[in-house]
Amino acid sequence: MGAINLISTIRGSLLENFYPRGWDLEKIDKCCSYKPEKIYKRESWWNGDFSVYSCDSIEDFDTLMGHAIAMEIKKTKDEGRDLILILPVGPMGMYRWVVYFLKQWGVDCKHVHGFNMDEWSDAEGNTLPKSNPGAFQYAMENAFYGPLEKLTVPEKQRHFATKNMLPAYPEEIFELKDKGAKLVVVYGIGRVFHIAFWEPHFAEEFDTEEEWKAQTFRIAARLHPLTIEQNAITSFKSRTTLVSTRANTIGPGIFLKADYAIGGADGVLSRGMMWQGMSLWVTLKYGPDIWVPSSFMPTLPGVLFFHKELAGPLEPELN
């Protein structure tokens, strides 16, 4: 008898049409089978200025990622250059440290243009009011823009992924970039390998990689069930009924244009449980593929911070 696992038993199961059609499950499994030290092995498609950095604890992760973001703000300030920051709401712990370092250095953010990469929506792209604690705008105002106080990003330079503001992102971002601004994308990695809420099943709509890469945003994007469950666990204390099935999001036509990208994977739970180990390994080892959006991030200059437990080994254990 051969192995009894998802790959060998998926035909005829309830999962047969659940995973995105373009996923190579055997290749995904191979990515997850390596020993932890192999995570540092450079692959041929990695950008020469891309690196991965292991963190011993969530506290280290938050601090180092926050320092990396703060340094981009400081460097562009010193250079007299505008900075376009594409910002996620997840991970979040780094924002406290961005604020700390900027206040310690006395660096203001008048040159920063902040663009939230996504936001929950309904089927028409309507978003929660900014006063709602579940809104990404609420999270950013309270974790980043507000605590910066007098050093903060000017209000007119804060952008949120509403159905009115998001369609203007491409023109605003690339006009700034054409004038010399640096584009830095800060990102997390989804359970199904999304960046922002750009989901893997969107690939089915496009005939070529070039066409897929040209997409700059989507209003009321349909989310994969695993994305919904990931967010129920990480943001809504397991309460699936609070999670929207749709979101407004930027696309690869923006996040793959980054001059530098700062990524984070901190998805450890407790007692050896985690949700992001597979996501990390596949991002690094699968190779660029439009069915795996995060697989393109190592092709960009940047750094990806990760909690050391995510490197595995990703093997079963008794708890």
User: Alpha-carbon distance 8 to 22, whole Å?
Assistant: 17
Q: What share of the chain is helix, strand, coil (3-state, %, to 5)?
A: 40, 20, 40
- Would residue 120 count as lying in a domain? yes
**Where residue 135 sits, what CATH number does that domain have?**
3.40.50.1360
pLDDT for 93-132, tens place per residue? 999 999 999 999 999 999 999 999 999 999 999 999 999 9
- Would residue 127 count as lying in a domain? yes
Cis bond upstream, residue 316 (ω within 30):
no
User: Sorting pLDDT into bands at 50, 70 and 90, what band is 9?
Assistant: very high
3-state secondary structure of 119: strand
- Would residue 25 count as lying in a domain? no
User: Alpha-carbon distance 252 to 210, whole Å?
Assistant: 10
User: Alpha-carbon distance 32 to 286, whole Å?
Assistant: 10
- Would residue 187 count as lying in a domain? yes
Domain with 252 in it: 49-308
265 CB neighbour count, 10 Å cutoff:
27
- Would residue 249 count as lying in a domain? yes
User: Alpha-carbon distance 189 to 204, whole Å?
Assistant: 20
- Would residue 173 count as lying in a domain? yes
Residue 281 pLDDT exceeds 70: yes
- Would residue 230 count as lying in a domain? yes
Total tally of structural domains belonging to the chain: 1
pTM here?
Answer: 0.97
- Would residue 36 count as lying in a domain? no
Overall average pLDDT of the 36-64 stretch? 98
Whether 289 and 22 have beta carbons less than 8 Å apart is answered as yes
